[in-house]
Amino acid sequence: MSPHPAPKAAPLLSVEGLHAGYGRIPILSGISLDVAPSEVVGILGHNGMGKTTLLRTLMGYLPATTGTVRFDGRDLTRAAPTARARAGIGYVPQGREIFPALSVHENLRMGCMLARTPEAETIADILTVFPRLKAYLDRPGGALSGGEQQLLALARCLCAGPRLVLLDEPTEGIQPSIIEEIVETLRGITRARGLTMLLVEQNLSFISGLSDRVLILQKGMITREVPPEVARDRTMIDEFVGMS
């Protein structure tokens, strides 16, 4: 065994001292976190603690008041959302926000705008990961079930080939059978493609089943880091974040 440990990989995402809010109402109060390449980091906390605000700030939809956001060593703190998307950050917001009047195929085409491979090739590849969508390509996105819309939102995001995906409450309002399918799909993607993910979720089994580690967010601050097995323990999580 070498006496010298292997050097730690530089983080793909590095956030330091991040503050943000809405008008004069502060929400984030100095968040610092790192996410390594190919790592899945979960963020757990009850409503109103700043989880969605954090993802919106990381994606550039909400400006940071102070602090820095670095992606692959590049300072993106003041970058527009389109610049962050081009840099390799994907975002699946709470509520999915697919285009309900467009067909599933047209939704996927929208996701290909930043793809580095030809559109047809990109969509064919994504459909190998999301085979359920093959039968619905001509169906309007709004006609799908909530779980199918979530799969479509994930597939559309991945069409752009992001290196980091910000995923906000993916299990909200979704039937359990599709939740299991989403877990297995995301596990396969992260393993096969080295995808990095920052995941906001309140479903304990979902977040513990996907995450390498889980951060506890309270009142706009990261207060604790726990391993996934602790995140499965509702009693301990209740003590940390007061979730019911």
Q: What integer pLDDT is reported at residue 13 of this predicted model?
A: 98
Mean pLDDT across the stretch 109-138? 95
Q: What integer pLDDT is reported at residue 152 of this predicted model?
A: 95
Report d(CA 90, CA 157) in Å as an integer.
6
For residue 201, pLDDT beyond 60? yes
For residue 239, pLDDT beyond 70? no
For residue 205, pLDDT beyond 60? yes
CB distance 39 to 212 below 8 Å: yes
pLDDT in tens, 62-115: 999 999 999 999 999 999 999 999 999 999 998 878 999 999 999 999 999 989
- DSSP single-letter state for residue 231: H
**Tokens representing 133?**
């969508």
pLDDT band at 2 (very low <50, low <70, confident <90, very high): very low
For residue 29, pLDDT beyond 90? yes
Q: What integer pLDDT is reported at residue 154 of this predicted model?
A: 94
Burial tier of 24 (Cβ tally within 10 Å: 0-12, 13-18, 19+): exposed
* Every domain of the chain and the residues it spans: 13-88+163-241
Instruction: Specify the pTM.
Output: 0.90
Mean pLDDT across the stretch 40-66? 93
Beta strands in the chain (DSSP E): 13-22, 25-35, 40-44, 66-71, 74-75, 89-92, 164-168, 196-200, 213-218, 221-226
Q: What integer pLDDT is reported at residue 3 of this predicted model?
A: 53
Beta strands in 36-110 (DSSP E): 40-44, 66-71, 74-75, 89-92
Q: What integer pLDDT is reported at residue 237 of this predicted model?
A: 67
- DSSP single-letter state for residue 140: B
The residues, ordered by sequence, that sit 6+ positions from 127 with a Cβ below 8 Å of its Cβ are 133, 134, 155
**Per the CATH hierarchy, to which homologous superfamily does domain 13-88+163-241 belong?**
P-loop containing nucleotide triphosphate hydrolases (3.40.50.300)
pLDDT in tens, 142-195: 999 989 999 999 999 999 999 999 999 999 888 888 888 888 899 999 988 899
| Alpha-carbon torsion, ordered 19, 22, 27, 33, to 10 deg | -40
For residue 129, pLDDT beyond 90? yes
